[in-house]
A and B are shown apart, each in its own frame.
Chain A
Amino acid sequence: MNDKRLSIRLLALLFAVLIFSTLFLSSCSGSNDDECTVENLPTGKIGCLMGSLETVFLQDTYPEAEISYYNSLPDAIVGLKSGNVDYVSTTETNIALYTKRIDGIKKLDISYFPTQEAFCLNKNRVDLISQINGKIKEYKESGRIDEISRNWSDCTNYIVNEVPKRTEGPVIVVGTTGEMEPINFILNGELVGFDVEVIGNILYDLGYQVEYKTMAFGALLPAIESGKVDIGAADITVTEERKKSVAFSDVYIERCQSVIVRDEDNESISIAAIKEGLKNNLIKEARYKLILEGLKMTALLSVTSLIFGTILGILLLFMKRSRFRLLSKTVSVYSVIIQGIPIVVLLMLVCYVFLGDVDASDIVVGMLTFGMFFSTGVLAALENGLNNIDKGQYEAVSALGYPRIFGFRKIIFPQLTKNSLPVYRGEIIAMIKATAIAGYVAIQDLTKAGDLIRSRTFDAFIPIIIVAIIYFAIIWAITLFIRWFEKKDDRNRRKREVKL
Chain B
Amino acid sequence: MSMIEIKGLKKQFDGFEVFKGVNANIEKGDVIAVIGPSGTGKSTLLRCLNFLEKADEGEIWMDGKNIFDSSVDRAKICQKMGMVFQSFNLFPNLMVVENVMQAPIDLLGISRKEAYEHAMVLLEEVGMSNKALSFPDELSGGQKQRVAIARALAMKPEILLLDEPTSALDPMMVGEVKNVIARLADSGLTMMIVTHEMSFAREISNRTFYLDEGGIYEEGPTEEVFTNPKKPKTKAFFSKTKEYHYKASDVSFSFKTMSNGITVFGITNSIDAKLVNRASLICEELCINCILSHIEVNPIELEIHMAYLENEKALRISVEYNGNENNLLENPKVDEISVKIIKETSREYSFSFADGKNVLTILV
Contacts and interface: CB of A to CB of B under 8 A. Distances in A.
Interface in A353-408: 390, 392-393, 395-396, 398-403, 406
B280 interface: no
A494 B94 CA distance: 9
A496 interface: yes
A401 to B, nearest CB: 3
A399 B50 contact: yes
A498 B75 contact: no
Nearest to B99: A396
B97 A498 contact: yes
Contact of B113 (A398, A399, A500): A500
Nearest to A414: B93
Nearest to A399: B83
B52 A499 contact: no
A498 B93 contact: no
Interface stretch (B33-41, B101-109, B256-264, B325-333): B101-109
A414 B106 CA distance: 14
Given A392-B87, A392-B89, A401 B95 contact: no
Given A498-B133, A500-B112, A411 B89 contact: no
A492 to B, nearest CB: 10
B155 A400 contact: yes
A-side interface mostly: helix
A493 interface: yes
B112 A400 contact: no
A392 B144 CA distance: 14
A100 B91 CA distance: 73
Contacts of B103: 400-402
Contacts of B82: 399
B52 A398 contact: yes
Interface residues of B, number: 36
B226 interface: no
Interface residues of A, number: 24
B78 A401 contact: yes
B89 A398 contact: no
B58 to A, nearest CB: 20
Interface in B26-77: 50-52, 75-77
Contact of A398 (B78, B87, B91, B112): B78
B81 A399 contact: yes
A493 B93 contact: yes
A406 B91 contact: no
Nearest to A400: B103
Interface in A321-356: none
B220 interface: no
A390 B52 contact: no
Given A494-B135, A498-B97, A402 B89 contact: no
A242 interface: no
Contact of A396 (B75, B76, B85, B101): B85
Contacts of A500: 112-113, 116
Interface in A397-426: 398-403, 406, 410-411, 414-415, 418
A371 B112 CA distance: 40
A402 B106 CA distance: 8
Contacts of B101: 498
Nearest to A410: B106
A401 B85 CA distance: 15
Contact of A401 (B79, B88, B98): B79
Given A499-B112, A500-B112, A500-B116, A399 B106 contact: no
Interface in A474-494: 493-494
Contacts of B95: 496, 498
List the 9 closest A-B pairs by CB distance, nearest first: A401-B79, A399-B83, A392-B89, A396-B89, A401-B78, A400-B103, A496-B133, A403-B75, A500-B112
Interface of A: 390, 392-393, 395-396, 398-403, 406, 410-411, 414-415, 418, 493-494, 496-500
23 contacts: A390-B89, A392-B89, A393-B89, A395-B89, A398-B52, A398-B78, A399-B50, A399-B78, A399-B83, A400-B78, A400-B79, A400-B103, A400-B107, A401-B155, A402-B106, A402-B107, A403-B75, A415-B91, A496-B95, A497-B133, A498-B95, A499-B112, A500-B112
